[in-house]
Amino acid sequence: MHYSTLISFGLLLKLSTASYVLEDDYTSNAFFSFFTFFTAADPTNGYVHYVDQGTAQNTGLLSIVNNQVHIGVDSNNVATGSGRNSVRITSNKSYNHGLFILDLAHMPGGVCWLVGPDWPNQGEIDIIEGVNDQTNNAMTLHTSDGCTIVDSNAFTGTLATSNCYINAPGQATNAGCDIQSQDSRSYGAGFNAIGGGVIATEWTSDVINIWFFPRGTTPADISNGVPNPATWGAPVAQFDGSCDIDSHFQNQQIVFDTTFCGDWAGAVWSSSAKCAALAPTCQSYVQNNPGAFADMYWLINSLKVYQSTGASNAATAVHQLLASSKNETLPLSSEPLAMGGSVPVSKRRRVGRK
């Protein structure tokens, strides 16, 4: 477990002079116009049928009420064909660096991420990731070869795997570099029970940081639209180490999806006593129990993307301090990021491109 005992709050303030300005605000009744609906076969081999916008709206999978965006799955019908009807959307705009702030009131189990068009060479950042009856959020990077992270005292989560390469030796296929939250409110039922919270991801040339603020603890600067990561304390996850961020994460698009079973969740279904007691296989359960998925929906309060004005930001300041304390050489690079997600009775260690 990692605790933020390395650097004092006052020192962090002195080192960080960055400010962020709003670039894109997805919080509007036009939310879906900023996204493309994915309708091809699930790249992770899930038991899911992604539908187009018209079908999703006509069947009640999508709605916007009082600026809250609802994205759900079919919870009324026994599934047929390729799987249970669901939605997967990808932002029309791509990003290279930024501060991504997502305010969620409810998650389906979790699937929000950023991914580059040339996967895995342009990387993937899973911000919310999980499977079956998992209780704590997992945050993961997936890359081409040559990117590993270190187990430092700069974040509060627990490092599970350190090699971000999808085919890293000694790790499960596409496990990536994974940091687990220690807060059971960060994912699934625990998250929804408190009315959700805010997840902030800062991506720079030097490091990728992820913070989680349970409902009622959101910093005032975020609420006021002037986010300042320098004042937020240690992140839950910090991806920093032997990795040229800019060469591994480029042209990232924001993705929301909910899938079922597939390469990861389907493979580990029987290893969960709770899941195995419900049905012999993941697909059998998902197919025949539509009512079980009434709670599988996203409820988005806001999604905003900020860009740095150019000054040294908190992530860079912490990175520089850590490197100097360990007599390390700082990598010099210029540009890009990516992000990631999770899934309800689904998600998986992807074998193919997400």
Task: Give the pairing of strands 84-86 and 48-50.
Answer: parallel
Per annotation, catalytic residue among 23, 124, 202, 328: 124
Candidates 23, 129, 202, 328; catalytic one: 129
Question: How many residues does this entry show for the chain?
Answer: 354
Non-local (6+) Cβ contacts of 273 within 8 A are: none
CA distances from 221 to 34, 81, 226, 308, 332 (A): 26, 48, 5, 15, 30
Residue type, 324: S
Give residues with Cβ within 8 angstroms of 20, minimum separation 6.
99, 226, 227, 228, 306, 307, 308, 309, 313
Supply 144's token pair: 């081409």
Contacts of 210 (CB under 8 A, 6+ apart): 127, 139, 199, 200, 201, 202, 235, 236, 237, 238
Question: CA-CA distance, 336 to 319, in Å (whole number)?
Answer: 17
Alpha carbon distances (Å) from 102 to 39, 82, 298: 24, 31, 12
Q: What is the DSSP string of 170-199?
A: TS-TT--EEEE-S-GGGSHHHHHHTT-EEE
10 burial via Cβ count (<10 Å: 0-12, 13-18, 19+):
exposed
Which three-class secondary structure state does DSSP give residue 295? coil
- Residue 328 annotated among the catalytic residues of the structure: no
Rounded Cα gap, residues 144 and 168, in angstroms: 9
23 has catalytic annotation: no
Residue 246 in contact with residue 334, Cβ under 8 Å? yes
Catalytic residue numbers, as ranges: 124, 129
